Amino acid sequence: MPNLVTRLQQAATSTDRGVTFVCEDPNVRMTWAEVHDQAKRVAMALQANGVGVGDHVALLGPTSRNLVITIRAVWLAGATVVVLPLPMRMSSVEAFVAQTRRRVLDADTKLLVIDEQLAPFVDVQPGDPRRIDFDTLIADAADGWEPPSEDPDRLAILQYTSGSTSDPKGVMLPERTLLANLDALTTAGKLDQEGPDVFVSWLPLYHDMGLVGILTTAMAFGNELVLAAPQDFMASPSRWVQWMSDFGGTLTAAPNFAYVLAARAMERLDDLDLSPLRLAINGAEPVDTAAVARFVSAGERHGLRPECVFPAFGMAEVGIAATFGDPLTGLQTDTVDQRVLETERYAAPVEAGSEGSRSFARLGRPVPGLEARIADPETNLEMGAREVGELQLRGTSVTPGYYHREDVTAERFVDGWLRTGDLAYRVADEIVVCGRIKDLIIVAGRNVFPEDVEVAVAQVEQVRAGNVIAFGCETGPRPGLVVVAETRSDAADGLRHEVARAVKETVGIAAREIVFVPAGTLPKTSSGKLQRSLCRDRYLADAYRVETGAP
């Protein structure tokens, strides 16, 4: 297997394809050969700043040409990339600064490359690594680069998990692991088999889907890439589908919430051509089958092929891709009896649309090089078909562990299997994920999945879609289900009644308490995932006392 640097060199010289930075104003396009040539010179600048083979380089900055070139330059210098998250919301600046310093120090960073506009937020303290801003590093570029020695065990990426259920941890991705996953996803996704693929992405480069699934794949295989920044999409979600139309995008990826926003945008826009799109990957958070249906319906008049919808399962611990379905087969679902699922942890099949039913997206089979099994979380014994247990993975793409966290590594691996923490079951040879073990809400002997509650509440008018958190609370005189939702409305009493009704109709259990908070209040990870455990902690600390109330 060629090493990472060799892959990058081969891709740069074998094609005239490249990357269009729509995150720049005006747009800038560079071929991968041009990116590679500049990255070689920046690799020399990194070495002049003390970076050697095996060192860790942390990068903190928005999506830009400089960030992309520097990521590549770190690998050309034989070093490890640590891309640091940006703050999701400006109200979280203090938490962002504290988390940034913790990650920089935890990663044993040799050099911090930082955007000059972010530098004032992250003050220098004793013990911090040397730092330099992107513009200065790029200006210091020099000739004379020589490729580093081959070492398949050298860390390519130290990917910090998003921290949706716990403190972020550094996932180690050696070159052999990273390349195995890149090969697996290109094979399973049949990339370039229908002609040259054009990737379109606004995903953050500090998240595994954006960094590995999109950018590194495009770099290593020479795919055409149209790259935007997350803030470009969030400021105007219609831009995403407009970029796909303008550049003939064939592949894109995003969490489920983005497809909800894209559907709304497509209903307003005219003159789009989405017919080239063949893979619209939906992952990183639970797939809402109703939201996917709305996306397909809204895209129909724009030439969107329904079969392009591509639910998948992935995680940082395997690079990115874990299970893929067959391309161009569209959304495949499995409908089960919700009561049986919650009380017996068994996915009993029922007719779609029948009373008390729940539909889940089928997420395909393990990508080449990976195996999957469903095991009892307590005994670790493998379970039978349709029995709900923990999804576990092993194979060539699986991380060797967590940086400086032997305790977590030992906890997450058992007999060579990675414990994902996700609840799932098998249908034939396909995987269906139905929740997170840590997020399960146990009420009156039932295992209630918070996603069911959150999706239902998000449909209530004046509740902000994608900004609802449900969790169980065992403290106080009335243990039970708590819902916290961001809202645009001041009519709390009437809205509370509507939310309470939605909860009861969906899961058959009354909410113990419903909490309304202003927009931008709910805690989220750097990749936009809801932080249920942190929200619960804040609730218990009375942080939301002003707007609480019983339904």
Q: Mean pLDDT, to the nearest integer, of 281-310?
A: 92
pLDDT at 527: 62
Indicate if 137 and 58 belong to the same structural domain.
yes
- Count CA atoms closer than 13 A to 548's CA, side-chain side: 13
Indicate if 382 and 521 belong to the same structural domain.
no
SS3 assignment, position 497: helix
Residue 250 belongs to some domain of the structure? no
The string of DSSP codes covering 129-162 is PEEEEHHHHHHT--S---PPPP-TTSEEEEEE--
Residue after which a domain boundary falls, among 384, 416, 438:
438
Does an H or E element contain 513, and which? strand 511-517
Residue 248 belongs to some domain of the structure? no
If one counts every other C-beta atom within 10 angstroms of the C-beta of residue 126, the result is 4
Residues 73-126: tens digit of each pLDDT: 999 999 999 999 887 655 567 777 888 888 999 999 999 999 999 988 888 888
Residue 509 belongs to some domain of the structure? yes
Indicate if 43 and 67 belong to the same structural domain.
yes
Rounded Cα–Cα distance for residues 217 and 224 (Å): 10
pLDDT beyond 80 at 185: yes
| Residue 60 and residue 100 in contact, taking contact as beta carbons nearer than 8 Å | yes
pLDDT at 551: 47
Q: Among residues 425, 462, 440, 63, which one has the least CA distance to residue 230?
A: 63
Indicate if 312 and 421 belong to the same structural domain.
yes
Residues 30-52: tens digit of each pLDDT: 999 999 999 999 999 999 999 99
Q: Six-digit token pair at 390?
A: 């923990």
CATH number at 525 reads: 3.30.300.30
List alpha helices for 64-210, DSSP H: 65-76, 93-106, 134-139, 175-188, 208
Mean of per-residue pLDDT scores for the chain: 90
Chain centre to alpha carbon of residue 139: 33
Residues 391-403: tens digit of each pLDDT: 999 999 999 999 9
pLDDT at 348: 95
Domain ranges, residue 468: 440-549
Under the banding of pLDDT at 50, 70 and 90, the label for residue 550 is very low
Indicate if 36 and 172 belong to the same structural domain.
yes
pLDDT at 445: 66
CATH number at 144 reads: 3.40.50.12780
State what percent of residues in the chain have pLDDT above 70. Answer: 94
Indicate if 78 and 218 belong to the same structural domain.
yes
Residue 96 belongs to some domain of the structure? yes
Indicate if 424 and 445 belong to the same structural domain.
no
Indicate if 227 and 282 belong to the same structural domain.
no
| Residue 290 and residue 459 in contact, taking contact as beta carbons nearer than 8 Å | no
Residue 536 belongs to some domain of the structure? yes
Range of lowest pLDDT (237-241, 400-404, 480-484): 480-484
Domain count, the chain: 3
- Give, in degrees to the nearest 5, the angle at Cα 478 between 473 and 482: 40
Residue 434 belongs to some domain of the structure? yes
Indicate if 57 and 181 belong to the same structural domain.
yes
Residue 71 belongs to some domain of the structure? yes
Indicate if 292 and 187 belong to the same structural domain.
no
Name every residue whose Cβ is closer than 8 Å to that of residue 208 and which is 6 or more positions away in sequence: 159, 314, 315, 316, 319, 320
pLDDT at 473: 78
Range of lowest pLDDT (62-66, 321-325, 507-511, 542-546): 542-546
Indicate if 119 and 143 belong to the same structural domain.
yes
Residue 249 belongs to some domain of the structure? no
Q: Mean pLDDT, to the nearest integer, of 10-20?
A: 92
Q: Among residues 62, 87, 90, which one has the least CA distance to residue 520?
A: 90
Indicate if 386 and 450 belong to the same structural domain.
no
